[in-house]
Amino acid sequence: MSSTVLDLADVVFRRGGSEILHGVDLTVRAGEHWALLGPNGAGKSTLLGFCSAQVHPTSGTVDVLGRRLGRVDLQELRRDIGHVNPRHPLQAALTVRQVVLTGITGTIELPMRWTPTEEQATRADELIAEVGLEAHRESRWPNLSQGQRGRALIARALAAQPRLLLLDEPTTGLDVAAREQLLTVLDRLAHTAPEVASVLVTHHLEELPTTTSHALLLARGSVVAAGPVTEVLTTASISATFDHPIEVDHDGGRWRARALPPARLHSA
């Protein structure tokens, strides 16, 4: 089996006469953890749509888990992709356990007359414990905090044992404590599921797990830089991506970004 999980080659995407992405290349291999960063309107959500087999390119090729978009059953392909979206459109008052089980069925609600196997139920319980929600297994979705929901969605995404995990701004709406709890869960995944590749979309360097291995910077639909995270997340490349002088530093495995002070602006 190939170690390449995602392979986008010269991808162009047009919508309504406007070109959203301009010749994007991206290769993600098993066990790599990519950050996708850029300002609003850069094309991050569109790019994630290719990774999740939700969007087809106007031109270029997209191979997801060794299968090319346009030549594959999308429903079957999506079963091998875990997707964490903090705007999960759940309306029913499911329990945490039920929400995690919907990751196996690939649905928002639990299908009628569907019952998990003993193995599936055990896996759901193990994942709930892994994300620190064992005490809330029977708590219902409307009563969960935003941070608890985020961790439940990670467990849900992993329930079907995907080879690719996509995280679309997973820390949206979280306070500092909840953000740090969620990032700790993501860091643990690199050890508990070392073969799983991930792509995390964010605006903020402070929201990157310490296990982030690679990064792609996107601005105005074009790739500014891509590769190993320590080579890509530099003051120069982040400043170019966000079109503003931003100083980047790295300490204890975590990243920080701040605007350059006025004195530095004049000398930069």
Calpha distance 208→125 (Å, rounded): 27
Contact 217, 241 (CB under 8 A): yes
What single string gives the DSSP state of each residue in 25-74?
EEEEETT-EEEEE--TTSSHHHHHHHHTT----SEEEEEETTEETTSS-H
Residue 235 has pLDDT above 90, yes or no: yes
Calpha distance 146→174 (Å, rounded): 6
Share of the chain above pLDDT 90, in %: 68
Calpha distance 33→15 (Å, rounded): 29
Per-residue pLDDT tens for 89-119? 888 899 999 999 999 888 888 888 889 899 9
Residue 264: pLDDT band by 50, 70, 90 thresholds?
Answer: low
Contact 140, 91 (CB under 8 A): no
Residue 160 has pLDDT above 50, yes or no: yes
Residue 62 has pLDDT above 90, yes or no: yes
The 3-class SS string of 94-153 reads CEHHHHHHHHHHCCCCCCCCCCCCHHHHHHHHHHHHHCCCHHHCCCEHHHCCHHHHHHHH
Calpha distance 155→153 (Å, rounded): 5
Residue 266 has pLDDT above 60, yes or no: no
Residue 262: pLDDT band by 50, 70, 90 thresholds?
Answer: low
Residue 268 has pLDDT above 80, yes or no: no
Instruction: Tokens for 232, please give them.
Output: 């890509």
Calpha distance 238→200 (Å, rounded): 17
Question: Which residues, including other chains, have CB under 8 Å from residue 108's CB and lie 6 or more apart?
Answer: 88, 89, 90, 102
Question: Which residues, including other chains, have CB under 8 Å from residue 27's CB and lie 6 or more apart?
Answer: 4, 6, 7, 8
